[in-house]
């Protein structure tokens, strides 16, 4: 299991039975492959499908079956197809229980920046702003640092904000944080890192849960 798969597997454990879940681009798309068979979970994609299944095997892809990130998907028995406008009606109407998103930066207050990098071409925000505003729970899955080693979990975001104070849970390869009553709380820590080492790569201020446990995928 590589680093991204580890994060996705941990995020899958957060999803409750019966939930309607939207998976963003990147690490979140991997979550579909780690969902428990013991739970009935309904995956939603904003281009118009409720009932997304696991990633198709190589050679089994259907070019007409894709998610909002243009990646091939499968549909579970009983899946429902609809227009993009109806899909966004579900999002804006508060009918999505959980959204799992990637992030460029996350602030200690629960702010998220995930749609634009200063100085680079801007392709558009996509459905991210609608999703974080309309979903009942926001889970962010991201590698702890950027490719260049820069921290991504900060006191304040430097990049354009997608939404403020919306993140409920943040999952990286090293830790699980929850945002409670305006505070960022470290709930789980991976075996391969100590808390002082984590702090060195996490400029954000956070408290440590009295029930701090080891990270389990």
Q: What is the pLDDT of residue 69?
A: 82
Mean pLDDT of 163-168: 97
**Which segments of the chain does DSSP mark as H helices, in order?**
3-12, 27-30, 84-92, 128-134, 195-200
Q: What is the pLDDT of residue 70?
A: 87
Give the global pTM. 0.94
Query: Per residue in 97-123, pLDDT tens?
Result: 999 999 999 999 999 999 888 878 877
pLDDT grade for 62, boundaries at 50, 70 and 90: very high
What gap in Å lies between CA 76 and CA 82, rounded to an integer? 15
Residue of 5, 14, 40, 46 marked catalytic? 46
One CATH from 3.30.70.1450, 3.90.1150.10, 3.40.50.720, 3.40.1080.10 for 3-214: 3.40.1080.10
46 is catalytic: yes
Q: What is the pLDDT of residue 98?
A: 98
Q: What percent of the chain has pLDDT over 70?
A: 100
CB 43 within 8 A of CB 34: no
Return the domain boundaries, the chain.
3-214
Return the half-sphere exposure (C-beta side, CA atoms, 13 A cut-off) of residue 185.
14
pLDDT grade for 127, boundaries at 50, 70 and 90: confident
Q: What is the pLDDT of residue 55?
A: 86
Which range, 34-38, 89-93, 125-129, is most confident?
A: 89-93
Beta strands across the sheet bearing 20-23:
75-81, 49-52, 42-45, 20-23, 98-101, 137-141, 169-171, 175-180, 183-189, 207-214
Q: Tokens 């702010």 appear where?
A: 111
Q: What is the pLDDT of residue 216?
A: 82
In total, the chain counts a number of residues equal to 217
């Amino acid at each position: 299991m590589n680093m991204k798969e580890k994060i996705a597997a941990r995020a899958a454990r957060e999803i409750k039975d019966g939930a309607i879940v939207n998976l963003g681009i990147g690490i979140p798309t991997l979550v579909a492959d780690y969902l428990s068979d013991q739970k009935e979970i309904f995956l939603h994609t904003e281009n118009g499908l409720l009932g997304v299944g696991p990633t198709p095997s190589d050679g089994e892809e259907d070019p007409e079956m894709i998610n909002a990130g243009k990646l091939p998907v499968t549909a579970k028995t009983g899946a429902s197809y609809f227009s993009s406008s109806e899909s966004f009606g579900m999002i804006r109407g508060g009918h999505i229980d959980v959204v799992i998103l990637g992030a460029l930066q996350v602030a200690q207050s629960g702010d998220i920046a995930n749609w634009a990098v200063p100085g680079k071409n801007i392709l558009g925000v996509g459905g991210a702003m609608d999703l974080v505003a309309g979903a009942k729970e926001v889970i962010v899955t991201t590698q702890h640092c950027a490719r260049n080693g820069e921290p991504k979990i900060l006191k304040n975001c430097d990049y354009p904000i997608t939404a403020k104070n919306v993140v409920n849970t943040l999952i990286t390869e090293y830790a699980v944080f929850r945002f409670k009553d305006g505070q960022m709380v470290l709930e789980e820590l991976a075996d391969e890192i100590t808390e002082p080492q984590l702090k060195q790569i996490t400029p954000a201020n956070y408290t440590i849960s009295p029930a701090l446990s080891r990270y389990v995928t």
